[in-house]
């Protein structure tokens, strides 16, 4: 394992994952900030889980950069929530965009690429911009849960991310969807109104639909495709 500027071995990362498996979000974030700041960043599309992590992070280190990938296809409610959170917590939100505008992408690859080749669209609008955004950081906080999908079932609270060559911290790894929403309601946190309109996981407009009763929460993403991830996390 090549850790670049990071002096943690694979064994140490596994030890940290075990150590923090049962710890609270704030304790995990306090360790991450003490260990990695100022080379620590969070990524978020301002979903419910991200709001929970930001509520904790604002108490620990509100200056931590929060990377937002503006794809050009996001819901207006996502951008509205972003500004509400910035105002509420004084967050350091940094917006990153793809090298190609939507119009340039349409000209080069044809319109509605997200329907014809969703993997390529995600690569252009999310994966490549995130790779550029994370350069220079040693650790990355994400708001993933193990029960969100089979692809996330084995994430560690602390793990090594080989794609970006940094440590990834998932402080909500052990949380359930119910626990996330209990926290939001109990603490009166802002959240996207799309959740009240039948959406369970919110991404880009063309690739997100409402979820029917009994369906898995990420079943509304890339409807009809054998795809559960855009590729930025796994």
Tens-digit pLDDT profile for residues 48-91: 999 999 999 999 999 999 999 999 999 999 999 999 999 999 99
Confidence of residue 4 (pLDDT cuts 50, 70, 90): very low
Q: Is the pLDDT of residue 220 over 80?
A: no
Q: Is the pLDDT of residue 208 over 90?
A: no
Rg of the chain on CA atoms, in Å: 17
Residue 230 bears catalytic tag: yes
Q: What is the mean pLDDT of residues 186-206?
A: 93
Q: What is the mean pLDDT of residues 92-120?
A: 95
pLDDT number for residue 1 = 40
Confidence of residue 215 (pLDDT cuts 50, 70, 90): low
Domain boundaries along the sequence of the chain: 10-190
Q: What ranges make up the beta strands (E) of 19-135? A: 40-43, 65-69, 92-96
Residue 96's CB: how many other CB atoms inside 10 A? 17
Prediction pTM value: 0.90
Q: What is the mean pLDDT of residues 106-129?
A: 94
| CA angle (167 as vertex; 165, 168 as ends), nearest 5 | 115
Confidence of residue 177 (pLDDT cuts 50, 70, 90): very high
Q: Is the pLDDT of residue 2 over 50?
A: no
Give the active site residue among 121, 204, 207, 230: 230
Q: What is the mean pLDDT of residues 214-222?
A: 62
Q: Note whether 10 and 160 are within 8 A (CB).
A: yes
How far, rounded to the nearest angstrom, does the alpha carbon of residue 136 sit from its chain's CA centroid? 18
CATH code for residues 10-190: 3.40.50.620
């Amino acid at each position: 394992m090549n850790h670049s500027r990071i002096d943690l071995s694979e064994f140490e990362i596994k030890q940290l994952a075990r150590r923090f498996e049962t710890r609270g979000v704030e304790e995990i974030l306090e360790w991450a900030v003490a260990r990695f700041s100022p080379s620590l960043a969070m990524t978020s599309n301002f979903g419910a889980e991200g709001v929970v992590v930001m509520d904790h992070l604002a108490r620990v280190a509100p200056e931590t950069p929060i990377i937002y990938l503006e794809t050009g296809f996001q819901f207006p409610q996502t951008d509205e929530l972003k500004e509400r959170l910035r105002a509420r917590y004084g967050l350091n939100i940094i917006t990153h965009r793809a090298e190609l505008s939507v119009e340039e992408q349409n000209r080069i690859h044809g319109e509605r690429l997200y329907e014809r080749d969703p993997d390529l669209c995600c690569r252009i609008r999310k994966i490549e911009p995130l790779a550029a955004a994370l350069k220079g950081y040693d650790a990355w906080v994400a708001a993933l849960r193990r029960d969100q999908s089979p692809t996330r079932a084995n994430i560690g609270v602390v793990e090594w991310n080989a794609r970006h060559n940094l440590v990834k911290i998932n402080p909500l790894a052990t949380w359930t969807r119910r626990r996330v929403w209990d926290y939001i309601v109990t603490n009166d946190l802002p959240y996207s109104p799309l959740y009240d309109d039948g959406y369970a996981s919110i991404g880009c407009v063309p690739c997100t639909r409402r979820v029917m009763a009994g369906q898995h929460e990420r079943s509304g993403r890339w409807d009809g495709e054998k795809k559960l991830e855009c590729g930025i996390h796994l």
